[in-house]
Structures are given as structure tokens and as C-alpha cells.
Amino acid sequence: MSRFTLNTRAGRDNVLVYPYDEAFFFTYGNFLDLLDKLANQYDLDDRLRSQLYGLCPPSMLVEIMLHEEIGDPSISDGFADLVVQVFPDEVAGDLMDLITGFVNDAPKPNGFEELVWLVFYNDTLTLVSLESVREHDAMVYTFTSLVDSE
């Protein structure tokens, strides 16, 4: 891992840049297609359709992957609770099946091993975004510390 200093003050961002990961984002694109099929299958209204996509950005899925990797199911459990609150039961169940499939089967994105290390050794960091920057052949992770830590 390249050397850098984490900013562990609350609300401060840490940005990590890695080469663009074609396989990960291709798989995420397929996941979005499955979300679209799910929305059409249940004829979700615009509000629920928006929430469906809003709950599943790549950063949320990677955050779940990270915590599952270190044996901490709290993120996925909390996410499942949120899904059940927002969607009717059958939609929630099918959505969680899609998310579980993605988390278990998607290729780990570039930098995943280093991200696991960050999350494992600093539990105040939360992944808030994962953006692809195709024109620069890069992907950018942004972490924020939720509380001050040392």
C-alpha cells in the first residue's frame, strides 16, 4: 500500500485513487439492469424506483463487501432493516437477494485489500462514495471519519 496519513477528524475526507476496474463496474452495470427488471416486475412508482437506485450506489455495495470480509455483519444487517422499512416485503426480499448475490459474486474492486485494512484498523471510517473517472482511467474512493479518533 502506498503510504499516506489518514485524516481521522470527524467530517474530513480521505480520498484514495486506483486504476479503473472494468470488471467491477461491468458487474455493477449488470446489477443495475437487475434492479431495473425488479422495478418493472413489481411496477414500482417513481418514488420507490428512485429509492431502489438511491440505496444501491457502488459505495454502499463495497461498504457491505468490506464489512462482510472482516466478519462484521452490522452494515448488511442495518441495510437489510432499512430495505424492509422502505419496500413491500416481496420487493425487499428480492432486492436483498440481488444485493447478496452481488456482494458474494462480484469481483473485488481494485484496492479492496487495502480498503479492508483501513476499515479493520479504523472503525470510524465510512466509505461515502466510489466514483469511476473513465477519462482518467481511475476510480476514486472517498472515506469520511464519523468521529474524531487517533
Q: Would you say 102 and 27 are in contact if contact means Cβ atoms under 8 Å apart?
A: yes
User: What is the structure's pLDDT at 145?
Assistant: 78
Confidence at residue 64, expressed as pLDDT on a 0 to 100 scale:
95
Across the 150 residues of the chain, what is the mean pLDDT of every consecutive 10-residue run?
50 84 97 98 96 96 94 90 95 96 96 90 86 91 73
Residue 1 lies in a domain: no
pLDDT number for residue 125: 82
pLDDT at 2: 44
The domain in which residue 79 lies consists of 13-145
- Whether residue 74 lies inside any domain: the answer is yes
What is the pLDDT at residue 134?
A: 84
Instruction: Please give the tally of structural domains in the chain.
Output: 1
| Residue (of 20, 26, 16, 19) closest to 105 by Cα position | 26
Is 41 a member of any domain?
A: yes
